[in-house]
């Protein structure tokens, strides 16, 4: 069993980044509710505890708190943002509204006191701040280890192994943030770095075999990274016992359904492709609101899956590609529900399965990709860019028709063809068929056609992103090809909005 670093959640939007960074540093992590009892924590025997940020002010009634006895366990604690505020207040310090807030990149200056977190650093460094409250008076035994003109940026009671940072070391915007987390884990918690993904794979294969035995298991295969890796793991664990149902709703990218069929029809599994394009298109006829599109597609997917499952008779096990963020994002005690995932409670309870198998439910997305590579899945699947479940239906703004889908498929294919081989390839890129029409001219004729928007972003975590500064020669070539090769398009625009304030997708 690997050593555990416990991440206690107080509603922080970056909790998954914290836990993911810890695992990337070869230490196993789990996210648990912030009000977890001391006895429960003792039972897990963590080597360290990290308290996340959160949207609340710690001095207000009803704001979430951890059990103060945590600080007397002798287990090293790192409080981040709200976590630092809470630790300081519970131990007798004072937290109050600051004179000015600090948001975005702020320069932090390490103090004169030597700290294991900063390892002798003296020069100011850029860090992501996101606060208006600040620690005004430190608890007894604490000292300031870094500051900004507006706040105490870091503090510690080294003799008690208690540390706090006002900034967010888990995000890429903080220079040296990964090293700060690493020093906490290794220099302060004494981590051995014994978490390896190979161990996880071996353990899951044993669990799958023990649970399923010689019986059959059914998987809803979307062609996305999670369900594809789940299929690969199951077929390795129980070869010949897996049936995959791929519901092709007609909103896939150009030739994508055929590519998925080529990969999985050759494996140690039964592959069933259900071509339901017309059925889904009828369901969306006249629908323009994006959330309604998502719900209708999700509900229809379930209906098709139910029908196909019934044809197969009695298969006792249902497999799902649920991953750890699906569970975390689908709602916690102190955090808002970011989005309700179809893998977490989305399928009807009355489906005729004895048990659900979710072998990836302990992994983050980056780990799933690594596992897929270890399983020998092709790079086209393992490195597949994020693609929404409703597919191109939410990259066609407004109502969805077969003609519009044809336009967006071709535009998206041209964009991917141009950028797939580009040396400085963005992390995600796609085309959007907007519901705006624009006057143009082709030959000597006036046109009045829909506008294609191109979106390309750089990101390390997909929680924030910057638009990719593509060279004008590249954008010119993309625009020229789309307008030349697709008769119904006369104008292409490039989206240069970051997240926030925009989202990555348009709908």
Would you name the residues annotated as active-site residues? 81, 168, 170
Q: How many CA atoms lie within 13 A of 276 on its CB side?
A: 21
Residues 6+ apart with CB under 8 A from 426: 419, 456, 457, 458, 468, 470
Nearest to 250 by CA among 294, 297, 290: 297
Cα 351 to Cα 19: distance, rounded to the nearest angstrom: 33
Terminal-residue alpha carbon distance, the chain: 43
Cis peptide before 500 (omega within 30 of 0): yes
Cα 448 to Cα 389: distance, rounded to the nearest angstrom: 31
- What are the strands, taking DSSP E only, across 375-444? 428-442
Given the structure tokens 């959160």, which residue do they identify?
54
- For the record, the structure tokens of 405 come out as 């889908």
| Residue 184 DSSP label | I
Q: How far is CA 430 from CA 27, 437, 467, in A?
A: 35, 19, 12
Cα 100 to Cα 349: distance, rounded to the nearest angstrom: 50
Cα 415 to Cα 111: distance, rounded to the nearest angstrom: 49
216 neighbors 317 (Cβ within 8 angstroms):
yes
Given the structure tokens 């494996």, which residue do they identify?
267
Cα 399 to Cα 412: distance, rounded to the nearest angstrom: 18
- From the DSSP assignment, how many helices (H) and strands (E) are in the chain? 14, 18
- For the record, the structure tokens of 466 come out as 């910057």
What kind and span of H or E run contains 314? none
- Residue 63 neighbours by CB distance under 10 Å: 18
Given the structure tokens 């995959």, which residue do they identify?
244
390 neighbors 294 (Cβ within 8 angstroms):
yes
118 neighbors 165 (Cβ within 8 angstroms):
no
Strand-pairing partners, residue 454, are: 431, 494
Write phi, then psi, for 194 (nearest 5 degrees).
-100, 10
- CA–CA–CA angle 142, 118, 48 (5° rounding): 65
């Amino acid at each position: 069993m690997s050593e555990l670093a416990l991440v206690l959640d107080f509603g922080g939007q970056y909790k998954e980044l914290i836990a993911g960074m810890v695992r990337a540093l070869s230490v196993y992590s789990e996210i648990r509710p912030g009000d977890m009892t001391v006895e429960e924590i003792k039972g897990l025997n963590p080597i360290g505890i990290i308290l996340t940020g959160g949207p609340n002010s710690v001095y207000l009634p009803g704001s979430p708190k951890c059990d103060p006895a945590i600080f007397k366990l002798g287990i090293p604690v790192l409080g981040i943002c709200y976590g630092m505020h809470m630790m300081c207040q519970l131990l007798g310090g004072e937290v109050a509204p600051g004179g000015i807030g600090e948001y975005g990149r702020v320069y932090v200056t390490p103090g004169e006191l030597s700290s294991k977190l900063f390892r002798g650093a003296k020069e100011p460094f850029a860090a992501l701040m996101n606060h208006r409250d600040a620690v005004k008076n430190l608890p007894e035994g604490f000292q300031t280890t870094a500051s900004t003109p507006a706040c105490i940026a870091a503090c510690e009671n080294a003799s008690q192994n208690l540390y706090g940072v006002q900034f967010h070391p888990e995000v890429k915007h903080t220079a040296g943030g990964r090293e700060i987390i690493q020093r906490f884990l290794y220099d302060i918690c004494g981590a051995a770095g014994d978490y390896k993904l190979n161990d996880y794979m071996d353990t899951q294969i044993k669990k799958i075999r023990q649970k399923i035995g010689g019986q059959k298991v059914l998987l809803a295969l979307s062609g996305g990274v999670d369900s594809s890796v789940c299929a690969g793991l199951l077929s390795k664990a129980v070869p010949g016992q897996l049936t995959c149902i791929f519901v092709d709703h007609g909103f896939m990218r150009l030739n994508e359904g055929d590519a998925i069929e080529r990969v999985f029809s050759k494996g140690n599994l039964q592959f069933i492709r259900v071509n339901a394009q017309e059925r889904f298109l009828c369901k969306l006829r006249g629908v323009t609101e994006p959330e309604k599109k998502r719900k209708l597609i999700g509900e229809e997917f379930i209906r098709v899956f139910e029908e196909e499952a019934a044809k197969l008779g009695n298969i006792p096990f249902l497999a799902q590609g649920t991953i750890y963020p699906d569970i975390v994002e689908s709602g916690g005690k102190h955090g808002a529900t970011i989005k309700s995932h179809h893998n977490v409670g989305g399928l009807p309870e009355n489906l005729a399965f004895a048990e659900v198998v979710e072998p990836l439910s302990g992994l983050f997305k980056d780990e799933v990709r690594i596992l897929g590579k270890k399983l020998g899945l092709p790079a086209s699947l393992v490195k597949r860019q994020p693609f929404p479940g409703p597919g191109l239906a939410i990259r066609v703004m407004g109502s969805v028709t077969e003609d519009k889908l044809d336009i967006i498929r071709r535009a998206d294919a041209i964009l991917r063809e141009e950028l797939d081989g580009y040396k400085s390839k963005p992390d995600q890129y796609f085309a959007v068929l907007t519901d705006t029409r624009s006057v143009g001219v082709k030959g000597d004729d006036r046109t009045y056609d829909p506008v294609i928007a191109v979106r390309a972003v750089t990101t390390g975590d997909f929680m924030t992103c910057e638009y990719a500064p593509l060279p004008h020669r590249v954008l010119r070539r993309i625009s020229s090809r789309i307008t030349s090769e697709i008769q119904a398009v006369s104008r292409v625009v490039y989206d240069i909005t970051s997240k926030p304030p925009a989202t990555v997708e348009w709908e």
